[in-house]
Amino acid sequence: MPQLNGGGGDELGANDELISFKDEGEQEEKISENVSAERDLDDVKSSLVNERMDVVRRPQPRADLESYEKAREYFTEALRRQQDGGFFKSPHYPGYPFLMIPDLTNPYLSSGALSPSARTYLQMKWPLLDVPGTAVLRDSRSPTPGQLSNKVPVVQHAHMHPLTPLITYSNEHFSPGTPPAHLSPEILDPKTGIPRTPHPSELSPYYPLSPGAMGQIPHPLGWLVPQQGQPMYPITAGGFRHPYPALAMNASMSSLVSSHFSPHIVPHHHHGLHQTGIPHPAIVSAAIKQEPNGELSPAANTKSPVSTKKEEDKKPHIKKPLNAFMLYMKEMRAKVVAECTLKESAAINQILGRRWHSLSREEQAKYYELARKERQLHSQLYPGWSARDNYGKRKKRKRDNKTDSTPEDFSARNKKPCVQYLPQEKMIDSPASSHGSMLDSPATPSAALASPAAPAPTHSEQAQPLSLTTKPDRHHHFPLLSKPSSSSSSSSSSASSSSYQPTSASGRQSTPPLLSRPLPLASLHASLLSPPSPFHQAALHSHHALFQSQPLSLVTKSAD
């Protein structure tokens, strides 16, 4: 079980890291094949660097600074704390259950105020920690909704548990403009905008309960209870068992959770509610997303086409549970964004992707475990839900080619050139102690950890140019435990060499199955040659497939 101060934290905050990001961006820009582009890139880089430095060096501003500045300040402070080994020493997820903390970044709670949430969260999160309460309060109260922009969460996350945001399936509902909930007994219904009085069940869990008291309440989801065997969630057996309290707490749903909720509070529609009557963050208003083609879900009844379609439209969109990487992204995005000036999600994601690979096995294992639990919760909440239900709900990507995309086409398709991967980042990213990892099995992290065979993935990646352009071929990934426990079989073993996971062998969505990132073939082969651990075998297998399927691209790319 991960401990609070556990290890390897991927401490971000380091200035070096920032630099690496910058470089990355630079490289990304370099993608352009022409020199002029590089020049532009340099310019951009310079500006980015300067900006970055500003952020890093900027003296701690005071309250009178602009919201943006404040945001940064907070973030900086958070980073400092992390580095100081304080509160956020490292992102551990001992308490996956934290995700269940009601109201945490609750997208439905228009109160928007992070304050109560944050406070509650902190209190619950580390009930045993000897954390200065003032500090907690100070952090949580700070940015008022008005001060924060919609992107506030980014900053706020820095103060919250890294995973807190993970649970919020739909942040889009977050309303920064409303007053902090803790300032008023009233809670605005996110949908109706009508103020309502929070039900005791909504508040009691957090506010009234002292950290110590909370531990006395057995958590219904024992498996979620984390560290030190201390139940952190004040969820009573008879009461609120929702695995996603955050959701349940949301204005409209919280009342539903209670047996004596006020009818007027209940949304006129039941969409978004689990059969248990408990809402889930994954539920998105049907209005937001609806099936273009009117596809019916299995649950659809047999009504006339018209009515059915209507029903369909009203049906809540239950989002897929986040996978390990998504969880990681949610957590780290804020940091990356704060550390560098990059704003494009695509670029950020590239960085995150690399960082993900640079994570130690243990670290990744945490996310896999979280993801596994997320899936479990999700399945419990929506037994009948299938990923297929969401198919077609999103506009179809314009996927070009694929069919016609031959290796030759590949180059043409790529608008962006490959970026050289900077070793620096890797080194910085991965804890010194960590040999990079890769994967492990979420289900059995320990097993993965045990595997000595794993060559430092980081090395290979560091040495190898990474193409930001296309997706790294997943084939190179070692088997992960993607299907953790439950399902599969895969037990995966750990990964050894780089972060390659063969699990889903298939190529990624629209991108051609080409290797954008020149594979660390040498290292890969080396690793494969070594001990024939299951992991290696799997890797080998995947690679064979890879080579078979796209030999050409591989060669060409690597040559680069």
Task: Pick out residues in 94-123 that bind DNA (CB under 7 A).
Answer: none
| Min separation Cβ 61 and DNA, Å | 21
Q: Judged by CB under 7 A, does residue 303 bind DNA?
A: no
- Rounded Cα distance, 152 and 145, in Å: 8
Stretch that binds DNA, among 6-14, 129-137, 256-264, 387-395 (CB under 7 A): 387-395
Determine which residue in the list 15, 131, 147, 151 makes contact with DNA, applying CB under 7 A.
151
CB nearer DNA, residue 20 or residue 350: 350
Q: Of residues 8, 190, 513, 520, which one binds DNA by CB under 7 A?
A: 513
List the x/- string, 119-148, binding to DNA by CB under 7 A. Answer: ------------------------------
Stretch that binds DNA, among 39-47, 51-59, 226-234, 319-327 (CB under 7 A): 319-327
Alpha helices in 85-184, H assignment, sequence order: 114-125, 133-141, 152-159, 164-167
How many other CB atoms are there within 10 angstroms of residue 69's CB atom? 17
- Nearer to DNA by Cβ, of 89 and 320: the residue is 320
**Interaction of residue 545 with DNA, rule CB under 7 A:** yes
- The yes or no reply on residue 219 touching DNA (CB under 7 A) is no
* Region near DNA per CB under 7 A, out of 40-48, 67-75, 87-95, 479-487: 479-487
How many residues make contact with DNA (CB under 7 A)? 88
Q: How far is residue 104's CA from residue 101's CA, in Å, rounded to a whole number?
A: 6
Span of 63-71, 164-172, 205-213, 258-266 interacting with DNA by CB under 7 A:
164-172
Instruction: List, as one string, the DSSP characters of 309-343.
Output: HHHHHHS-EEPPPP-HHHHHHHHHHHHHHHHS---
DSSP state of 10: -
- Using DSSP's 3-state secondary structure scheme, residue 273 falls into strand
State which residue, 3 or 50, has the beta carbon closest to DNA. Answer: 50
Phi/psi of residue 477, nearest 5 degrees: -80, 150
Residues numbered 399 to 458 that lie near DNA (CB under 7 A) are: 399-400, 402-403, 415-416, 439, 442
Question: What are the CB-based long-range contacts (under 8 Å, 24+) for 296-302?
Answer: 297/386, 297/389, 298/384, 298/386, 298/389, 299/384
The answer to whether residue 80 forms part of the interface with DNA (CB under 7 A) is no
**Which CB sits closer to DNA, 337 or 453?**
337
Cβ atoms of 418 and 518 within 8 Å: the answer is yes
Q: Interface mask (CB under 7 A) for DNA, residues 172-191, using x and -? A: x-------------------
Work out how close the CB of 84 gets to DNA at its nearest, in angstroms, rounded to a whole number: 26
In the three-class reduction of DSSP (H, G, I as helix; E, B as strand; rest coil), residue 46 is classed as helix
Contact residue for DNA among 159, 199, 330, 459 (CB under 7 A): 330
- CB-side neighbour CA atoms (13 Å) of 347: 20
Q: Which 8-state DSSP code applies to residue 237? A: S
Phi/psi at 509 (5° precision):
-25, -115
